Amino acid sequence: MSRIDFYYFLLLGILCLAIFGVPKLPHERYQQPHPIKDMPAQQLASHFLIFQTMEGENVTSCTGTAIGPHAFMTATHCVRGKNAAKVLIDLTMDAHLLLSTVSDGRDHTIFLINGQAFQNYISVVPVDAKMDSVLVTYGTGKGAYPPIPKYGRVMSCEDPSDLDRIEHEFCTTLPVVSGDSGAAIYDDKGEVVGLVTFAIDNEITYTNTNFALNFARNQLDFAATFGIGGETPIPRHQK
């Protein structure tokens, strides 16, 4: 390119900036792409959660699944000991108050929240995981949004005592990453068999261990209807 051509394009660029202004390029972390309309209902119900203290300090992030207009389900360890009082959903600026929680005695918690209702949520029908069955989870690990589908299979846990079977514990080959904790795990029928809890990654194999849901039917029904048709009593905190 000749010197004349260089100055010509430089002048043209300066004129464009003067007329149209500097383009706004949002930081990748804070972009919020709109979910595709033909995404599965389960994927649309999955959300990136950032838990905060009442003062607005971020304490942890996980994946949650909307199971009612004002209720979501996630892993208990996401908030255990973290004094979380609010949650940001999908990197929005609106903080929702955590009104009440109920846990099922495993690594699963349902939160009731205030604020804008979820537009997409699933009806939870928990079933047991079947050995070798195909699974899918929609995780928001490392801030991914919309959530990314990840596939795997049910495999045997390494517990020789069969305690895993009695306690409805199961292991999978789902390639989860940090932040996928709390994502619902679905079988090929779209039914919930558990939540992502913790992973073991070594040179020999990759597994993550999960428990089947143990919520009472009335707890799931309450979460599905909380906030519909006027004021609904908030249940007391349970563990």
- Domain ranges (residues) in the chain: 41-122+216-225, 134-211
Averaged confidence pLDDT in the chain:
82
Most confident of 8-12, 20-24, 45-49, 157-161: 45-49
CATH 3.40.50.300 fits 41-122+216-225, yes or no: no
pTM score, whole prediction: 0.78
Structure tokens at 207: 């597994």
Helices (H) and strands (E) in the chain, counts: 4, 13
Q: Which residue has the higher pLDDT, 4 or 57?
A: 57
pLDDT score of 162: 54
What average pLDDT score do residues 218-222 get?
95
Structure tokens at 217: 């039917």
41-122+216-225 matches 134-211 in fold: yes
Residue 132 Cα distances to 42, 153, 171, 187, angstroms: 21, 5, 10, 11
Judged against a pLDDT cut of 80, whether residue 52 lies above it is answered with yes
Judged against a pLDDT cut of 80, whether residue 160 lies above it is answered with no
* CATH superfamily name and code, 134-211: Trypsin-like serine proteases (2.40.10.10)
